[in-house]
């Protein structure tokens, strides 16, 4: 803020020419215009328009018919697949947020020790982050494949034949199998975040603690975790923000919501309703519900973060 | 190792030995866990490459191991049937154009928000901050209608503007931070010498902001290259499809040519892995910094 003022003040102080205020503001608005136009067209209008559509019945071609809150009521009262999708989305979100962060922190603590090959482990574990969900989804649907899949072959090799199953077509394991893949993709990412946080903690804090006789567990609880709080905040926020919506690709590629909707998530149901059955108003209601969930989580989380240790 | 608990002076010889042993054991355990984690991360990728070179019989009977005979023909067939050349071309065009539009538009806007004072500055920034957290997935239906109304459905340009528009807020936020960290004195000198704002921006700020631009380029470039959901909604014509769409399309059309799928997947994945390993520091820093700054 202060630096900005200094920069602005320099112009009149130098007195090189008298620029009319309006003109100077005009140039600022002109410089913002392209970005604002793109934002309005592709982000802001869709949010408002989606809200509008969610109160209508619409096939996408004829006039939208206003039906009040009937779409929302139907979602909650008559659409069992939607409720199943909501519960799956929540299970997906909670599991991936918890496991990615815990596993990422655990691996970061391991890699952060004075060991050889840190760069190698970091490079290898981060690799899946760079691959697309489609590539990873296809690859893992083959790993789970009952005929030639890596997983069943591995279980047989270890003598665990009773665990062998068609992972993606068994209703008991399909959702878990997809969740595992999402965790597989992102754990390395969270490990790198935590590792950066760990490396920023001053070494002498630990040395002092050791002299005071603190054991490893106490040092983790009293030094590492509190000082890691800002990184933890970011890491959880990032996983949380994507957890409700970055699940379409994996589900679509691996099971397409099956078997019998056991892996259906809100986005797959939304796309089916909109583009297979042409229920655009109904799908908009689903989208807006999802929007509210994401927005409420993001804002609550940022409020908590702001009042706590971390500041933007 | 350096943090073993206790007071060294009073340790007996036996204590030292047992502590040394337990340190060794701990190190061994750490390595064991890291190696298991690494193997389960990269073995599936080796397995993909193995599968791409196998015969059908080999794929089903020799699940774990490398191919007994190398079937390079898989690559030739997969390239031709999946029409990978066209898909790779589309992905390159769409990613490059989206990045160009995004970087130019967002850097000018970010600079304006970082340096200029004007009425409404705070309000515009708050709107950008608020929309940054909204993923395009949740507004996909109205977004579809907007794109259809504009007549840019089923067009590479349409997808480019959707990508640039939905990544705009994030990119502006990130670059604004970089611009604010550049000392304003540099620009003041140029402004005094009679340069205008755009000249200052282009000749002084942009070269200094290269690390920030690189972060956005890696982070968003990766995102555009890998993106499936929006492309799936907005591109329905086969000849316009990007790589992720093409792979899914290929996979659903030829349901038994497993080795060809492995080959197609390997062909699009290996270049990304090579690029990543060659520039791993850039990738890791760009992707994590990009995410954290948001």
A72 in a domain, yes or no? no
Q: Does A200 touch chain B (CB under 8 A)?
A: no
A70 in a domain, yes or no? no
Give the pLDDT score at A8: 46
Q: Over 70: is that where the pLDDT of B246 sits?
A: yes
**Do A150 and A265 belong together in one domain?**
yes
The string of pLDDT tens digits covering residues B207-230 is: 888 888 988 998 899 999 999 999
Percent of chain B at pLDDT > 90 equals 49
Torsion of the alpha carbons at A65, A70, A76 and A82, rounded to the nearest 10: -10
State the average pLDDT for chain B: 87
Q: How many CB atoms lie within 10 A of CB B24?
A: 11
Give the pLDDT score at B254: 58
From the list B112, B144, B165, which residue is nearest A43 (CB)? B165
Does an H or E element contain A65, and which?
A: strand A65-66
CATH value at residue A290 = 1.10.3720.10
Q: Over 60: is that where the pLDDT of B241 sits?
A: yes
**Least confident stretch, A16-20, A133-137, B9-13, B110-114:** A16-20
**Do A187 and A256 belong together in one domain?**
yes
Nearest to B137 by CA among B230, B226, B6: B230
Nearest to B283 by CA among A9, A123, A235: A123
Q: Over 50: is that where the pLDDT of A108 sits?
A: yes
Report the length, in residues, of chain B.
Answer: 294
The string of pLDDT tens digits covering residues A172-219 is: 999 999 999 999 999 999 999 999 889 888 888 888 888 888 888 888
Interhelix angle for B13-52 vs A118-126, to 10°?
40
Do A5 and B121 meet the contact criterion of CB atoms below 8 Å apart?
Answer: no
Percent of chain A at pLDDT > 70 equals 90
Do B276 and B113 meet the contact criterion of CB atoms below 8 Å apart?
Answer: no
pTM (two decimals): 0.87
**Do A193 and A281 belong together in one domain?**
yes
Give the pLDDT score at B129: 85
**Do A29 and A113 belong together in one domain?**
no
| Tokens linked to B168 | 């705009």
8 Å CB contact of A43 and B247: no
**Do A42 and A92 belong together in one domain?**
no
R_g over Cα of chain A: 26
Query: Containing domain of residue A7, as a range?
Result: 2-53
- Among the ranges B3-7, B79-83, B165-169, B248-252, which has the highest mean pLDDT value? B165-169
From the list A14, A16, A35, which residue is nearest B105 (CB)? A35
The alpha carbon of residue A35 is apart from the nearest alpha carbon of chain B, in Å, by 6
Q: What is the mean pLDDT of residues A42-51?
A: 93
Give the pLDDT score at B12: 67
Q: Over 60: is that where the pLDDT of B284 sits?
A: yes
Q: Is the dihedral of CA B236, B240, B245, B246 positive or negative?
A: positive
From the list B27, B134, B225, which residue is nearest A115 (CB)? B27
The string of pLDDT tens digits covering residues A261-287 is: 999 999 999 999 999 999 999 999 999
Give the pLDDT score at B33: 93
The alpha carbon of residue B265 is apart from the nearest alpha carbon of chain A, in Å, by 7
Q: Does A247 touch chain B (CB under 8 A)?
A: no
Q: Over 70: is that where the pLDDT of B168 sits?
A: yes
**Do A169 and A224 belong together in one domain?**
yes
Give the pLDDT score at A23: 67
Q: Residues near A43 by Cβ (< 8 Å), separated by ≥ 6? A: B131, B134, B136, B139, B165, B166, B168, B169
**Do A16 and A113 belong together in one domain?**
no
Confidence of residue B201 (pLDDT cuts 50, 70, 90): confident
Q: What is the mean pLDDT of residues B71-93?
A: 91
**Do A194 and A133 belong together in one domain?**
yes
The string of pLDDT tens digits covering residues B187-199 is: 888 888 888 878 8
Give the pLDDT score at A7: 45
The CA distance from A277 to A28, in Å, is 46
A69 in a domain, yes or no? no
Domains located in chain B, CATH noted = 8-71 (no CATH), 81-293 (1.10.3720.10)
Q: Does A27 touch chain B (CB under 8 A)?
A: yes
8 Å CB contact of A25 and B168: no
Q: How many CB atoms lie within 10 A of CB A156?
A: 13
A65 in a domain, yes or no? no
**Do A213 and A137 belong together in one domain?**
yes
Do A50 and B139 meet the contact criterion of CB atoms below 8 Å apart?
Answer: yes
| Tokens linked to B30 | 């750490």
The alpha carbon of residue B212 is apart from the nearest alpha carbon of chain A, in Å, by 18
The string of pLDDT tens digits covering residues B90-118 is: 999 999 999 999 999 999 999 999 988 88
**Do A131 and A205 belong together in one domain?**
yes
**Do A85 and A133 belong together in one domain?**
yes
Split into its structural domains, chain A has a count of 2
8 Å CB contact of B142 and A196: no
**Residue A56 DSSP code:** E
A152 in a domain, yes or no? yes
> How far out from the chain centre does Cα B147 lie?
25
| Tokens linked to A66 | 């206003």
Does an H or E element contain B104, and which?
A: helix B84-115
Give the pLDDT score at B219: 87
Q: What is the ipTM of this complex?
A: 0.86
> How far out from the chain centre does Cα A175 lie?
17
């Amino acid at each position: 803020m202060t630096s900005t003022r200094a920069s602005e003040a320099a112009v009149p102080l130098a007195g090189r020419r008298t620029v009319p205020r309006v003109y100077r503001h005009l140039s600022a608005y002109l410089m913002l215009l392209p970005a604002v136009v793109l934002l309005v067209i592709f982000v802001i209008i869709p949010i408002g328009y989606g809200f509008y559509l969610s109160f209508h019945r619409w096939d996408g071609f004829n006039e939208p018919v206003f039906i009040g809150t009937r779409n929302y009521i139907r979602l909650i009262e008559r659409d069992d697949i939607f409720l199943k999708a909501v519960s799956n989305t929540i299970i997906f979100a909670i599991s991936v947020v918890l496991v990615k962060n815990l596993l990422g922190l655990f691996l970061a603590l391991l890699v952060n020790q004075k060991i050889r090959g840190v760069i190698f482990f970091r490079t290898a574990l981060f690799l899946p982050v760079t691959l697309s969900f489609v590539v990873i989804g296809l690859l893992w649907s083959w790993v789970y494949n009952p005929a030639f899949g890596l997983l069943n072959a591995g279980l047989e090799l270890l003598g665990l034949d009773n665990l062998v199953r068609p992972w993606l077509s068994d209703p008991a394991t399909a959702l878990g199998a997809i969740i595992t893949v999402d965790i597989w993709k992102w754990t390395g990412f969270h490990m790198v975040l935590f590792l950066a946080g760990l490396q920023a903690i001053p070494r002498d804090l630990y040395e002092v603690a050791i002299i005071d006789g603190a054991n490893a567990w106490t040092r983790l609880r009293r030094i590492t975790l509190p000082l890691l709080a800002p990184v933890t905040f970011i890491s959880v926020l990032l996983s949380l923000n994507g957890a409700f919506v970055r699940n379409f690709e994996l589900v679509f590629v691996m099971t397409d919501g099956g078997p019998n909707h056991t892996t259906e998530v809100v986005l797959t149901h939304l796309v089916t309703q909109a583009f297979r059955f042409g229920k655009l108003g109904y799908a908009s209601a689903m989208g807006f519900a999802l929007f509210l969930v994401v927005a409420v989580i993001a804002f609550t989380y940022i409020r908590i973060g702001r009042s706590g240790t971390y500041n933007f | 190792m350096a943090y073993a608990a206790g007071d060294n002076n009073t340790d007996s010889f036996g204590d030292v030995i047992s502590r040394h042993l337990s340190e060794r054991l701990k190190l061994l355990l750490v390595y064991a866990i890291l190696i298991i984690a690494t193997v389960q991360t990269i073995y599936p990728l080796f397995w993909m490459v193995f599968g791409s070179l196998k015969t059908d019989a080999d794929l089903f009977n020799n699940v774990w191991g490398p191919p007994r005979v190398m079937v390079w023909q898989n690559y030739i067939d997969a390239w031709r049937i999946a029409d990978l050349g066209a898909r790779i071309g589309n992905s390159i065009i769409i990613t490059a154009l989206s990045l160009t539009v995004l970087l130019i538009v967002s850097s000018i806007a970010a600079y304006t928000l970082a340096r200029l004072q004007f009425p409404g500055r705070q309000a515009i920034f708050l709107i950008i901050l608020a929309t940054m957290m909204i993923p395009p997935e949740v507004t996909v239906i109205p977004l579809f209608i907007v794109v259809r109304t504009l007549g840019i459905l089923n067009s590479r340009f349409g997808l480019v503007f959707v990508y640039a528009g939905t990544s705009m807020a994030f990119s502006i936020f990130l670059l604004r931070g970089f611009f604010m960290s550049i000392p304003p004195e540099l620009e003041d000198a140029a402004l005094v010498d009679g340069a205008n704002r755009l000249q200052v921006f282009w000749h002084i700020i942009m070269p200094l902001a290269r690390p920030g631009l690189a972060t956005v380029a890696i982070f968003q470039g990766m995102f555009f290259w890998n993106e499936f959901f929006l492309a799936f909604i907005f591109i329905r014509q086969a000849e316009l499809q990007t790589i992720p769409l093409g792979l899914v399309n290929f996979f659903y059309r030829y349901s038994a040519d497993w080795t060809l799928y492995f080959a197609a997947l390997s062909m699009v994945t290996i270049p990304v892995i090579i690029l990543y390993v060659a520039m791993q520091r850039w990738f890791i820093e760009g992707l994590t910094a990009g995410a954290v700054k948001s």
